[in-house]
A = this chain, B = another copy of it.
């Protein structure tokens, strides 16, 4: 090909759509995509990278907007291709010694659903012979051509992959061989012919013989793959902007399959599983890169490479050491050795397990690569949470039979059941069960509640099963497609990795790992987390403990640093002394939510029933008097467990009928009793009460502070129990710090009224017991009205605590109970949510309520202490938001306390750095 004219058809100056690798660097991911920017970086570092160039994301955007090639794009491609040909001394598709290129997409963020790679562009019916001659290996040339046809047909022309695979399978069967590599050159030549037939039939045109047409087609196909439905859905879910576009990398092919002095490999600069120092990788002699991943033969370790080719090994180690120093992080790489010459094909900051993340971050501080702040930025609360789940004993034997999506983390062992009724029945008799379904529907809800784990053969991470299981904290593996669920016959059939047919019958014990998506037959032993054992103080000196000592040290170190830098306090939601104790051991600085209604359950339910059935004031007071000492005892224990730390006690919140039997069940029972002539008058009275108290929408009924105003005796009893308990603690030498929290306040007058009752009781208790109990009075902010009138409410509140669960329900107008099982999976699919707003706070809607209330509350009461006690208090994304908004503390379940501490530290640094860079930009 002649060098193209350097002036374009148009006289207007053109945008630069194409950059040689030499002209980029790793900071230019916006323009060059991740892959292109990192290739450019390696080129600039003088590393051996096959030459090539990157077509920018701007070109992609322009193409997608106009629906046509941007002016000058392919002229620029021609220029850069010419330069590439000069460097390589070969021409694209040359009949004698063709230059081949790969075309690979590379967006700023890696994105499933986009076209990935087309290798061997430049081959055609003529140049394949040239490649055979030049390489001296006709089979290799034909194999490359076969691959090109397959990849081009599926990814560029959009033909179904199954047609190609079926042809290949049929051929192998005819030839009686198991592996592709056992096919000879004639087989492959026949395959090429069949593939060309598939292309002609499927696309209506023959496979393009012109190499430039192949290249142009591949580039446009990469552009267009930006808008596949799967990619669009992914972007919606991950909140990746729609208009970024992808870059396209065109790179000279190098061959790891040119004999025994060639090969391909992948490597990590450290162990990405454990985080242990030292390089780690796989190498396959005489192979192309894709073979390494596909596992066609057994790979060897990098140590073995040193034996095979010491100079290349040393060169590789040097490159990896430089990359890690340069990126100051774990890098993963792809490389090829062609005839003893090392080529780097890709690098990026490597993915790693949670364990590795902590160990690497900690080790890199010691190595002086990063400081503690940066190390904290390298680990996440989600990773720490995963380290805290119980998991299957890694040492134990296990029988892996299938893998699905890791939909909801945890390790669950139980008997397989195939319908919800059985799940409920077996769970009631004490069996742990795993509910196995093709897919779940709202009808399966009671079965999902009863099960310890859920396994489905269909549906992804936003399927009904996945969404509901995450919502209720059940372990779930979904979309395990190898499993054929046959509910009618109460069994599931599957073929394991070895091709054996297996059947899981109802009652068989299985184990599922919601963290990895693995499914095992039989019981796999579960071990508790070493991190939890450490936090619980069960390990002694972690260095002596076991193989996980390094991990525990790293976690402690980063948690301590998070504590040092965080502004947010971390409290726990705890209703029992046990929970309170654990929360304290996990680093909680107080209780942010102690729900008192939990103290009305169990044996005390009858006392609550008496309260409700009371027919006069005397009976009502008697019921309350019976509850008082029980509540007081509860509070004494909790205040003792949290001595010296604040304990926020929420007055009773749920509607009273929650303590009564279900209306429908009771109505049926009473009707049947009557029918049978067993008239039970207490049942009738109970049914009357349930009917009277029944509400269409209990979430929107007589609950929270409304109960306190309707039944002042109830509030007074609770307040008295708290203050008497605190008084006893003081007399016993303790330091109780009770904070009374009023739920569901919508108007300042409600809080004033309850405030008045509290003051009266406090005065009475002080007079009776002779001890003044210091206490704060505050309110939940969980109704939109409370948020927008927070300036008034703050006048009579010592503190606010955002009840983000209810606030989410009221702001969106849906109740969690009702919607997670009905339309949430649909909403996630449509991208209306990226994630359930009950999991991570909805910044635009609910978050706006939080911002409004925080601003208004502090306007009238600058001393107001503001916290969050919804489940969002333990969610990493939400914690970052709360840091930005400037609340004072978050409160979460005891198990989430370490996660919240870590994320609060990270959030403080993120806000600081955000503020710093914002400051810099205005300076």
Contact = CB atoms under 8 A, between A and B. Distances in A.
B784 A823 contact: no
Contact of A815 (B692, B700, B845): B700
Interface string A814-835: 1101110011001100111000
A38 interface: no
B826 A709 contact: yes
Contacts of A784: 784, 810-811, 813, 845, 849
Contact of A812 (B442, B746, B749): B746
Number of copies: 2
A744 interface: yes
Contacts of A782: 813
Interface residues of A, number: 60
Contacts of A169: none
A789 B844 contact: yes
Contact of A710 (B783, B823, B846): B823
A168 interface: no
Contacts of A443: 692
A664 B846 CA distance: 35
A695 interface: yes
Contacts of A695: 815, 818
A664 B661 CA distance: 13
A241 B906 CA distance: 49
Chain A contact surface mostly: helix
A750 interface: yes
A698 B696 contact: yes
- Of A667, A692, A812, chain B has the most CB atoms within 10 Å of the CB of A812
Nearest to A848: B788
Given A709-B827, A789-B845, A818 B702 contact: yes
Interface in A715-773: 744, 746-747, 749-750, 753
A860 to B, nearest CB: 14
A332 interface: no
A830 B706 CA distance: 12
Contact of A692 (B442, B664, B753): B442
A747 B788 CA distance: 20
A446 B35 CA distance: 70
A830 to B, nearest CB: 6
Given A826-B709, A826-B710, A696 B750 contact: no
A298 interface: no
A809 interface: yes
Interface stretch (A82-90, A262-270, A542-550, A668-676): A668-676
A553 B791 CA distance: 49
Nearest to A852: B788
Contacts of A206: none
Nearest to A702: B822
A253 interface: no
A6 interface: no
Given A746-B845, A753-B832, A784-B784, 13 more contacts: A664-B667, A675-B676, A699-B813, A700-B814, A701-B815, A701-B819, A710-B822, A746-B812, A783-B811, A784-B810, A784-B845, A785-B846, A788-B844
30 contacts: A671-B671, A672-B675, A675-B675, A675-B676, A695-B818, A696-B815, A696-B817, A697-B697, A697-B818, A700-B813, A700-B815, A700-B819, A701-B819, A702-B818, A702-B822, A709-B827, A710-B823, A746-B811, A746-B845, A747-B832, A747-B845, A749-B831, A753-B830, A753-B832, A783-B811, A783-B813, A785-B842, A785-B845, A788-B811, A788-B852
